[in-house]
């Protein structure tokens, strides 16, 4: 074997290794097409009816989930999406002031264990007019969107980075992506 062939083979193996270790795309490219990368959650929270119809991507933590006609309504606390130490929404230990709740309709079925309070999610959907939802028995008007896809990590309130890599004696963090049919 010649030196260039060895270098090429090594480069190919390392490329496969590092691509397997990196965070894979949660959603297909067509799902993320036209997402507003300049979307400001706090502006939307303050005036949720100002600009309906914007396609956005938000991260969060499930507060509650209720079945409804046509799907599941999830009320969540918005959390920033981070890339390190693990990819996904994170509270990053900082105390935030203000209100970060919002609600979304996922027009399909999601397994019940994925809807546990505390689980983390990233949702891609379209903003709508604010809706009245029941949160822990109290009616609240929340910013609202209809989800095209949602990715849920079954963290049960822990940070995604708290879950070790799969290895001897460890269990993997369960996660799944749900996309509404016809979207």
Q: What are the C-alpha distances in Å from 52 to residues 10, 61, 75, 143, 144?
A: 51, 23, 18, 10, 9
| Pick among 2.40.50, 1.10.3470, 3.30.1050, 2.60.40: CATH of 24-179 | 2.40.50
Listed in sequence order, the residues at least 6 apart from 97 whose beta carbon sits closer than 8 Å to its beta carbon are: none
What's residue 9's pLDDT? Answer: 40
- Beta carbons within 10 angstroms of residue 21's beta carbon: 8
Q: By CB neighbour count within 10 A (0-12 exposed, 13-18 middle, 19+ buried), where does 1 fall?
A: exposed
Cβ-based neighbours of 66, under 8 Å, separated by 6 or more = 72, 73, 134
pLDDT tens-digit readout, 103-143: 999 999 999 999 999 999 999 999 999 999 988 889 999 99
Instruction: List the beta bridge partners of residue 139.
Output: 134
- Give the model confidence (pLDDT) of 137-172 as tens digits: 899 999 999 999 999 999 988 787 777 665 555 567
- Whole-model pTM: value is 0.79
Q: Which one, of 72, 32, 81, lies nearest residue 56 by Cα?
A: 32
> 22-78, pLDDT tens digit by residue?
445 789 999 999 999 999 999 999 999 998 999 999 999 999 999 998 899 999 999
- What pLDDT score does 5 carry? 41
């Amino acid at each position: 074997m010649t030196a260039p062939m060895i270098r090429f083979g090594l480069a190919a193996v390392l490329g496969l290794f590092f691509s397997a270790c990196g965070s894979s795309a949660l959603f297909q490219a067509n799902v993320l097409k036209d997402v507003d990368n300049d979307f400001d959650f706090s502006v939307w929270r303050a005036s949720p009816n100002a600009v309906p119809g914007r396609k956005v991507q938000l991260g969060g933590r499930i507060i509650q989930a209720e079945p409804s006609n046509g799907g599941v309504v999830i009320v969540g606390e918005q959390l920033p999406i981070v890339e390190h130490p693990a990819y996904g929404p994170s509270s990053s230990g900082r105390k935030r002031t203000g209100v970060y709740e919002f609600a979304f309709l996922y027009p399909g079925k999601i397994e019940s264990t994925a809807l546990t309070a505390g689980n983390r999610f990233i949702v891609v959907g379209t903003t709508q007019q604010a809706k009245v939802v029941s949160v822990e028995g109290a009616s609240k008007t929340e910013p609202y969107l209809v989800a095209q896809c949602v990715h849920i990590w079954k963290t049960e309130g822990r940070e995604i980075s708290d879950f070790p890599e799969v290895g001897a004696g460890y269990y993997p963090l369960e996660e799944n992506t749900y996309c509404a049919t016809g979207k």
